[in-house]
Amino acid sequence: MPSIRTNLTKLNQKAPVILAIESSCDDTAAAVLKNDTILANITSTQTIHEQYGGVVPELASRAHQQSIVPVVDAALRQAQIQLSDIDAIAYTRGPGLMGSLVVGTSFAKALSLALKKPLIDVHHMHGHILAHFINEGQAIPSFPFICLTVSGGHTQLVVVHSPTNLEIKGSTIDDAAGEAFDKIAKIIGLPYPGGPLVDKLAQKGNPDAFAFSKPQVVGYDFSFSGLKTSVLYFLQKQTAVDPDFVEKNKADICASVQRTILDILFKKLELLVKDTGIKDIAIAGGVSANTGLRQRLMDTGNKKGWNVFIPKFAYCTDNAAMIAMAGKFLYDAGIFGNQSQGAEARLPFLRSWNQ
């Protein structure tokens, strides 16, 4: 992958101290990293969206404006770091909600100007993948490895050749897996955010109780819109006969839905492992917190001889520690952003480093 290498590549020889900011959706987060160790990781979660059944972009951006200074201040205090100690500022440039991204991007750029420190723009999913390298004494994957990235906005199979050389082998052609979880949860009548509630109920249900349609998509790509429609029509048919069907069978419905989503994911994952021969397998993204997904990966890994890597729960949902880790790799490679770059709601994952 081409890269931008500037005269900032060797700013100093000491372990870099990076301040990271994440504001892609409804969590305002800041973290401080030194070398590959997180010194602070602070997140302010917005609860106002629960009453609306989903994230309201305008409310999210306003909440970010209120939270970003206190969150950054808290991270610096926890890390016992002064602004003058920072070597670079990493931030989430995209993808995400435009209004939310603008708050974090603007703050990072202004701080960069004030401190005369370099900027590092990070892709949100790049951060999720590289969170596996945050040093907490755990095993880390070897290059190349396969990462199944699963979130509310993304479902991808990525071959990670190096921290700055990633190859997307498959992605969703419609809904993401996390989006399917949340939309089906809403159909069932679960409150927002519904995905974790589906997971919780699924643990009490029978995954073989009901059968739902699975897409027939060639290659490594995914599709989840058909599953959502299948569940909707099934429930409409059943509730026409018994209005209390959903309430009586909620756990079994959730277990069957989760089983179907995991079947779709693992069919493509196993195909890619077979075709590439890569045995180091990781998961990343918000849905990697799903207990069913984590257990399925461990079971499949044990059966097939994979080396599996599962992130800590704290690094599954949106957080700034992962942005700091990605920022550190980019810092080491001499890849920096600039003041002319703005937030991008649909930032390409494998954008050229020459831009």
The tens digit of pLDDT for each residue in 319-330 reads 999 999 999 999
CA distance 110 to 91: 12
- Cα 58 to Cα 91, 99, 103, 104: the distances in Å are 20, 7, 12, 15
CA distance 135 to 112: 26
The rounded average pLDDT for each run of 10 residues, N- to C-terminus, in the chain (355 residues) is 36 79 93 95 82 77 92 97 96 95 97 97 96 94 97 93 95 94 94 91 98 94 95 97 97 98 98 98 96 98 98 94 97 94 89 44
Q: What is the pLDDT of residues 216-232, one digit of tens each?
A: 899 999 999 999 999 99
Q: Which pLDDT belongs to residue 29?
A: 97
Tokens of 214: 């699975």
Q: Angle of helix 245-276 relative to helix 225-241, nearest 10 degrees?
A: 160
Q: Which pLDDT belongs to residue 59?
A: 87
Q: What is the pLDDT of residues 135-163, one digit of tens each?
A: 999 999 999 999 999 988 889 999 999 99
Report the mean per-residue pLDDT for the chain: 92
Strands 119-123 vs 88-94: parallel, antiparallel or unpaired: parallel
- Cα 346 to Cα 13, 43, 96, 153, 297: the distances in Å are 35, 23, 7, 10, 29
Tokens of 122: 């990070």
- Write down the pTM of the prediction: 0.92
For 244, counting Cβ atoms within 10 Å of its Cβ (0-12 exposed, 13-18 middle, 19+ buried), the class is exposed
Q: Domains for the chain: give ranges and CATH numbers.
A: 17-132+316-333 (3.30.420.40), 143-311 (3.30.420.40)
DSSP for 22-48 reads E-SSSEEEEEEEETTEEEEEEEEE--G
Across the chain, the runs of DSSP E, i.e. the strands, are: 17-22, 27-34, 37-45, 88-94, 119-123, 145-150, 155-162, 165-171, 280-284, 307-309
Residue entry with tokens 């679960």? 190
Count of residues for the chain? 355
For the beta sheet containing 88-94, the strands, ordered from the edge strand earlier in sequence to the opposite edge, are 37-45, 27-34, 17-22, 88-94, 119-123
Indicate the DSSP class of residue 19.
E
Buried b (16+ CB within 10 A) or exposed e, 81-120: beeeebbbbbbbbbbbbbbbbbbbbbbbbebbeeeebbbb
Name the β-bridge partners of 166. 160
Name the β-bridge partners of 350. none
